[in-house]
Structure 1
Amino acid sequence: MKANSSNFQLNIIFGFVNSVVSVVQTFWFIPYIKEYLGTTAYGYISVVNGLSNTLFVLVSAIGSMGTRFILVTLERKYDEESNEYFNTELFAMIVGSLILGIIALVLSFNLGKVMRVDHHFYKEVQVLLILTINTLILQLLASPFSASFFFKNTIYITYILYTLDYLGRITLTVIMFHHNMKVLWSAVLSTNIVYILSLVFYMAYSRHNIPSLSINLYRAKLDKLIELVKSGVWIAVSSAGNMMVSSLNTYFANILCGVFITGIYASIMQFNIMESMVLSVLVNSLLPKMFKLFSHNDSKNLFFYTIYSMTLVSLILGVVSGGIVIYGNDFMNIWMGNKFTGYAPLIFLTVAYLPFTLPSQVINQSFTVMNKVMMPAMFTILTGLMNILLSIIFVKLFQWNIYGVALASLVVQVFRDCILFPCYFYKISMYFDKKMSIPFFAALASIVITIAICFVIRLLIKPTSILAFISSVMIAGGIALSIILCIFNFISRKLSISL
């Protein structure tokens, strides 16, 4: 138990270190690109990322379920079966990588048909697209080996590798720009290099820590592949719906609202991405215990642990969102300049609902752990289609421009995460009770308390300079986080769930 607790803390610590470095890298990279290449340049990077990630989820879903089956069979000490799942997933990932590579080439040669691109950026966006998709291919190939980090609860090692990636992106971009190679794809080239080295490390780590998992594609089984595909199809559908609800918003903005405002919206969306990263750190750190509870048929504690995890996520994201609501406009002024201010309503629409919706991704993970993925996938693709429809209606019919894109995302995520997911969880869990409402009340309390504290501190310490801004944010955030952690300790004692 001490080792598990220690690893959990390391996962959280290195996860947040990785998040901080990622945020620093992102918030440095955007103005850096803007200064050298213009505001629209980052819009292309954001659009390509959204488009590539959508392709990625269509071929990576089998990997998601493969990891699930590998972990469950390893926990139950079914070594032969886990090896079959491992090699079956590896075979599927190799085939998926080939498909993704072909799609990358086809899209790059027909780029003008899928997005708006200025002529002088055309070749650079082509290279950017190919290199971005190649990083996704490397992630696919690493997927079967990643199960070892969850099984050993050493997820912090992956965060160290991700941190090296972010630092490499900064370093290589500066070097290339300094030598007059000002291109859109400098950062993703660094990611390719780091991911190749990471793939080698993943393979060595898996071989050393779980020797029962060995590469032998002859052990890939058709029945296991069918099982992975049957579940993976729904993961792919769910992931595609998630992309239509969130990541593809910049693509919709590019098509519906134009290039320049997409650059501004993509900058503001970094707040949303930052909160999603916090969510990812928390969920990944909590996930190993979810697998253990399920593998040992401890359904009751799995339900309470899900509530515990959601509550933790709600409270922390409430602090982040509350701070962004009050200080977001000040930050945009310091970070990007005066022309990026005046979008406080857009910032609010982008982040205020996240403490209520993102915690439901914990429920979604529990669906994956329990292999109950069909209905959540149908819900997600439904809301993804709703997001497209509402974006068109709000932008074209009501003329709300970029605010229409943001509002559409808000409406459909609240509908899915606060209504559909909890209702389905109620349907499949014999232990479901009123405690499921705790995370949503926790989110409300957290964001209201944080907004009130930040508002008062901002009046006392006006963020008129970078130093004043940092001081004001740190004092307000420290006070809010201290209060929120006290609330969480009280709730966790009531739930009687420990890490």
Structure 2
Amino acid sequence: MKKKETKKFKLNIVFGVLNGITSALQSFWLILYVKANLGSEAFGYISVVNSIVSTLLVISSAVASMGTRYILVNIGKNNNREAKKYFNSELIAMIVSGVTISVIGIIITFNLNAFMNIGSDFYGEVQVLFMMTIFSFSLQLLSSPFSASFFHTNELYLTYVMYTLDYVSRVVVTIILFSNKFFVLWSAAVASDFVYLCILLFYLYYSYQKLPGLSIDFSYFDFSHLFDLLKSGIWIAISSAGNMLLSSLNIYFSNILCGVLITGVYAAIMQFNIISVMILTVLVNSLFPKMIRLYSGDKTAQLYNYTIYSMSLTALALSIISGGIIVYGNDFMGFWMGNDFRGYGVLIFLTVVHLPLTLPSQVLNQSFSIMNKVRIPAIATIFSGILNLAMAVYFAKTLGMGIYGIAISSFLVQILRDIVFYPIYFSNITSVYSYKLMIPLISGLLGMLGTVFIAKVIHTLIFPSSLILFGIDIVITGSLSFTVILLIGKKYGVYND
């Protein structure tokens, strides 16, 4: 049984990474393709629309995430009737939410100028993009109750295959439309709408096959169970809103505070974060089933240690990504977007240097959700988000730092929340106070410093004056950094859970 679970874990990691690589490649390609055909500011509109829609759906997404938690915990405790009640209560909540958000989306669509800066040439296309994005996100919400089946079987790699098809379809549809002189902002969005409709149908089929006990039966809808979801979900929503104020809405702040052109540049640089978030998401999702089992079995000490292990693993993986971007990010921007986009090395540094230190805290956040201890972290996160907004305005406008002020604000506030507050709170709710919580931070810092050192040496020995040499540098740096970190991690038992 253990070998079978280990195989599934490896499949989840492999397909998750492949999905992430595909996502990053299509995103980098799409930005370049859109820029070449529609101008530098065009992709900024896409990023801002995604930020606004994500904000609109924050409560629904939070309820969906907690629904998965309640379903899996009750299945783990063999409370199948309770799991079915949570499943159907969540499904009805998602249907109502989808309809409500669609109505709100229509209202916003006809008043977009009140929410963002849009050039007159793109106004109609941004309206269409906004509605298509609303539809895509709504389909994701409808799929969420059925996603519990994939976590239950630990076969997340199947979902990664579906998401990979989405990324490929975005590229294919965009090429087809643009090749036929149909230059539109919403080319990728229409592809996603179709694929997510197919994903919803697949989720329905898979859930019926693997967890037939979670059949759609609205007679199991229960207001008390819906209240449980809403009670926890609202705090998750508040936390998500804070996270948006800390990260994704920085692009929106840039659009309002700094103008359209620099927002396009900043949106392009922020794509570097996709790689780190991809690694984080794959690892956290792959580790989630075991965390649920440990919690369902009342094994708090084991859950504590497994959380530390998960954070350390995540920090080491992210340290290689961030270290490489710090050294090679400016070169990549030149090859990718053109020489006009070079010279933003400081902005790249501020955007990625904290990721191996702060993103592993999302493993802690996952533990908070599993233990249903989400209120205090949510309050801290929304406070952090508001602080980030205030500091961004102060740095960008009052001090005249522009886009750098926005990046510095996000950097400082995330350090305060993720490195200081989250670990203290985690120790408090588990009643375990140990130096081990410093291991992920130290691992991320040393891993990043080591990667930067290796990358600097390789960069000097093989200067990336061409795209081929750049690729060679990346392969050598990545291979050496991974090997060194793997050996050191094994020696000091970082990978022992």
Query: Which band: TM-score by shorter chain?
Result: over 0.9
What residue identity is the alignment partner of 2:12? N
Question: In structure 1, the residue corresponding to 2:184 is in which secondary structure?
Answer: coil
1:36 shift after superposition: 0.3
Task: Tell me the residue number matched to 2:28.
Answer: 27
- Once the 2 structures are TM-superposed, how far is the Cα of residue 431 of structure 1 from its aligned partner? 2.5
Matches of 1:277 and 1:407 in 2, distance apart? Answer: 23
Quote the offset at 1:99 in angstroms. 1.1
Q: Per the alignment, in what secondary structure is the counterpart of residue 122 of structure 2? A: helix
Q: In the alignment, which residue of structure 2 is the partner of 1:80?
A: 81
Would the aligned equivalents of 2:384 and 2:414 in 1 still touch at CA under 8 Å? yes
Per mean C-alpha deviation after superposition, the further-off stretch among 60-69 and 356-365 is 60-69
C-alpha distance in structure 2 between counterparts of 1:272 and 1:60, whole Å: 21
**Deviation per residue, 1:435-461 (Å, 9 max, x gap):** 000000001110000000000001111
Q: Kindly tell me the number of residue pairs found equivalent between the two proteins.
A: 496
Letter in 2 for 1:33: V
Cross-structure match for 2:166: 165
Q: Is the 8 A contact 1:303 1:432 kept in 2?
A: no
Q: Distance in 2 between matches of 1:298 and 1:104?
A: 44
Residue 248 of structure 1 aligns with an amino acid whose one-letter code is L
- Offset from partner CA, 1:177-222 (integer Å, 9 cap, x none): 1111110000011000000000000000000001111101111101
Q: CA deviation at 1:496?
A: 4.3
1:318 aligns with 2:319: yes
Q: CA deviation at 1:490?
A: 3.0
How far did 1:488 drift? 2.4
Matches within 5 A, 1:61-76: 61-76=62-77
Deviations 1:127-171 (Å, cap 9, x if unpaired)?
Answer: 001101111100110010000000100111111000000000000
Q: Distance in 2 between matches of 1:140 and 1:186?
A: 22
CA–CA distance in 2 between the matches of 1:246 and 1:72? 30
Contact 1:312 1:488 in 2 (8 A): no
8 Å CA contact retained: 1:311, 1:488? no
Structure 2 unaligned residues grouped into runs of 5+? none
List per-residue Cα deviations over 1:75-105 (Å, max 9, x = no partner).
Answer: 1111111001100000111111111111110
Q: CA shift at 1:275, angstroms?
A: 0.9
The reply to whether residue 292 of structure 1 matches residue 282 of structure 2 is no
Distance change in 2, residues 1:480/1:496 (3 Å) = closer
User: Which residue number in structure 2 is paired with residue 242 of structure 1?
Assistant: 243
AA in 2 matched with 1:102 = V
CA–CA distance in structure 2, aligned partners of residues 429 and 492 of structure 1: 23
Displacement after TM superposition at 1:56 (Å): 1.7
Q: What amino acid does structure 2 have at the position aligned with 1:256?
A: L
Cα distance, 1:54 vs structure 2: 1.2
- The residue number in structure 2 matching 1:126 is 127
Residues of 2 paired with 1:149 and 1:2: CA distance? Answer: 18
Question: Does residue 272 in structure 1 map to residue 279 in structure 2?
Answer: no
Are the counterparts in 1 of residues 311 and 440 from structure 2 also a CA contact under 8 Å? yes
Contact 2:275 2:321 in 1 (8 A): no
Partner of 2:121, secondary structure, is: helix
Amino acid at match of 1:333: G
**Residue matched to 1:380:** 381
Match of 2:349 in 1: 348
Work out the CA distance in 1 between the residues paired with 2:366 and 2:184. 38
2:448 equivalent to 1:447: yes
SS of structure 1 residue aligned to 2:393: helix
Q: Residue 98 of structure 2 corresponds to which residue in structure 1? A: 97
Question: Distance in 1 between the 2:441 and 2:190 partners?
Answer: 41
Work out the CA distance in 2 between the residues paired with 1:404 and 1:456. 31
Q: Return the alpha-carbon distance in structure 1 between the equivalents of residues 121 and 26 of structure 2.
A: 26
1:397-444, Cα deviation, whole Å (9 max, x unpaired): 110010001001101110110011111112111223110000000011
User: In the alignment, residue 279 of structure 1 is paired with which amino acid?
Assistant: L
> Which amino acid is the alignment partner of residue 11 of structure 1?
N
Aligned-pair identity in percent equals 49
> What does 1:329-348 correspond to in 2, within 5 Å?
329-348=330-349
Aligned residue in 1 for 2:111: 110
Matches within 5 A, 1:178-197: 178-197=179-198
User: How far, CA to CA, are the matches of 2:493 and 2:138 in structure 1?
Assistant: 40
**How far off its partner does 1:341 sit?**
0.3
**Distance (whole Å) between structure 2 residues aligned to residue 277 and residue 246 of structure 1:** 15
Contact kept in structure 2, 1:50 and 1:247, CA below 8 Å: yes
The alpha-carbon deviation at position 120 of structure 1 amounts to 1.1
Deviation at 1:485, TM superposition (A): 1.3
Secondary structure in structure 1 of the residue aligned to 2:485 = helix
User: Is 1:154 paired with 2:163?
Assistant: no
Distance 1:254 1:496 in 2: 45
Structure 1 match to 2:203 = 202
From the superposition, tell whether residues 139 and 467 of structure 1 become closer, same or farther in structure 2 (CA, over 3 Å).
same
Distance in 2 between residues matched to 1:196 and 1:407, nearest whole Å? 39
Report the counterpart of residue 410 of structure 1 in structure 2: 411
Aligned to 2:233: 232
> How many Å separate the matches in 1 of 2:356 and 2:273?
11
Unpaired runs of at least 5, structure 1: none
1:2 is matched with which residue? 3
Contact 2:24 2:274 in 1 (8 A): no
Scaled by the length of structure 2, what TM-score is found?
0.99
Structure 2 CA distance for aligned equivalents of residues 492 and 246 of structure 1 = 33
| Contact in 2 for aligned 1:238/1:377 (Cα 8 Å) | yes
Root-mean-square deviation (CA), in Å?
0.9
* CA displacement, residues 229-278 of structure 1 (integer Å, 9 cap, x when unaligned): 11111010000110110000000000000000000000000012221111
1:39 matched residue in structure 2:
40
TM-score of the pair, normalised by structure 1: 0.98
